[in-house]
A and B are shown apart, each in its own frame.
Chain A
């Protein structure tokens, strides 16, 4: 479907409102049309008889006629006043309803895009930058402001206006009306040429803006690194380049526009010129009255106005289509992982997990897991160890069903994950990551993220279990403390304990610990470790750890190397078998001794 027509479908829920708005506009057109006709009446039937060859002859008429003409003049003045009042009222109705609808459409479009983004899989995000996506949800949607309702209204109204005034022009003088249409073929050719030229430029402009947004987002997030490496000059140069690319395309658009609009205006101006020439000649020959030519000229600009307006609308449509295309690109992307129509919800999980001969590769890449089989019983602590890039995180991604295996199956509580609803699974999985992500808000908000209806009691309880309560109460605003973007005002250990409190409130049945204590000092590690032990109680836990001492007490350790499980067992069993795990332990303890 044409992008703009697709955009128009968003009007459907507000059709009643739009119809009233457009009807109000039609009334306004009618009121506008009445004004020159009334003026013609005043000029031709009231005022003109008082002049002969430009000289005033009013004194030659009887007082009764003059008084009657005054009355008629007042009547027409009152009529015009009434028209102006109605014009104001209907303009308000029209502007309010259509602008309001435009805003409602933007609102629903923005929410729809955001909701859709949330359901897209990790693969989608791997290929795109955050800034670029933000640009689509904010700048691209914003650029559609007024487009849908205004454009629809203006197209309909202008066509109606052209038809109405065209008919009036033909009614006033058939020959002059034909002359009025003479510039139109040339005008149409110009529009077609303009559209073809400018369309790709508008698309490029949206892409360049997205590039700027992406670089900005990336650089502001990484401002510490930029400062540490003293790369401000380098980054400024990169940013300037992106801005220059946008500037170049903007200037090209300006050049195209400034060439087109004056040229189109020039072509249109030929109409009134020809009408003046032929109309004036008809007056001299007595074939046309002055009032008719006056009215014709008035209507002429009201006829050309909508024609010109349609040209500008065309430009708006071309520009909006560039943004709309980028928005629909997101909406048309289908999540790679979807619930099947018959997918079942998980009740409260027991927490048994089983991988059966699982093989998996990321898009177009070599297999990262090959024939992996593992199992975890409810409440067990499972350690995943192995060199970087071995496939540990991929196992976690499959448990969370961020991806589906290429072959083999992942079962939880005996159910194949492909047959289960993702939301009911993920709501029962908790994660504590190496770099905990906290939202810009208060400590209270962040802990309560794990349970949106948490009471103060729940929050304090969770914080106590996470060894966070004491340091939180040390802040002047305690749980109401604003922690800044990504929790920037907290130390790494504090952030980690808040994230543990959040996970405790979530009460997950399966817990994922991904290097949760790797980036903190020994004392904080001890506090976090104790908090984690409380959190792990009664839950199936998968812990990824490079620091092997933290998973020593695991019920079972799976040693993964190059996508395969090379050995498994308890810490003692694996040491005894003298394989990769024993080797990794030796290396780590040797490192700690030095």
Chain B
């Protein structure tokens, strides 16, 4: 991996610790307050290029990878990433309806309770890691995911199938495809 010209941090040389509510980055002998941590490529390469940012959104540093961080720092970063990127997992698809805005409204049951979201076209869908499917709400930009489409119950699969642009390619690596329930 070649170097970024600006802001790149060397994982082995920094420390990230929790101090009460504050997350503190220590780099080059300087202490900086981290407000939030973002993945530069949350879908395509989620484990590389992690950006540490202050309250104004200014980048404090870029981590090429979490490898090399000390155990405590790595745990803190992973914890924050989990909070930011842990998205509700869809367990059942209850209903899908066309809405007046030209999209579809999905009523779902998730591990965080019943929810609904709106899709407007394929750009709100990410099938790259099929059988995992990630949905982005066209209005709120919140994300929801089906961890393994093939393990959804049959009724949910039947409801979703008509709305998902899946080809035989998506079924070729099917594992089981039977309901858990």
Contact = CB atoms under 8 A, between A and B. Distances in A.
B156 interface: no
Contact of B5 (A455, A456, A461): A461
Task: Bin chain A's interface residue count.
Answer: 20 to 34
Interface string B157-176: 00000000000000000000
A478 B136 CA distance: 13
A473 B53 contact: yes
Q: Give the residue among B3, B39, B41 with the most A Cβ atoms within 10 A.
A: B41
Contacts of B7: 464
B41 A478 contact: yes
A460 B4 CA distance: 7
Contacts of B44: 442, 444, 479-480
B48 interface: yes
A136 interface: no
Interface in A441-461: 442, 444, 455-458, 460-461
B77 interface: no
Contacts of B93: none
- Main SS at interface, chain A: helix
B177 interface: no
B103 to A, nearest CB: 14
Contact of A478 (B5, B40, B123): B40
A461 B4 contact: yes
A474 interface: yes
B3 A456 contact: no
A244 to B, nearest CB: 26
Contacts, number: 63
Contact of A473 (B5, B48, B59, B141): B59
What secondary structure prevails in chain B residues at the interface with A?
A: loop
A469 B61 CA distance: 12
Interface of A: 440, 442, 444, 455-458, 460-461, 464-465, 469-470, 472-474, 476-480, 482, 484
B2 interface: yes
16 contacts: A440-B123, A456-B41, A456-B48, A456-B49, A457-B3, A457-B64, A464-B4, A464-B7, A470-B59, A472-B40, A473-B38, A473-B40, A478-B40, A479-B40, A480-B41, A480-B43
Contacts of B38: 473, 478
A469 B40 CA distance: 9
Contacts of B4: 457, 460-461, 464
A440 B122 CA distance: 11
Contacts of A464: 4-7
A465 B123 CA distance: 28
Given A470-B58, A470-B59, A457 B41 contact: no
Contacts of A472: 40
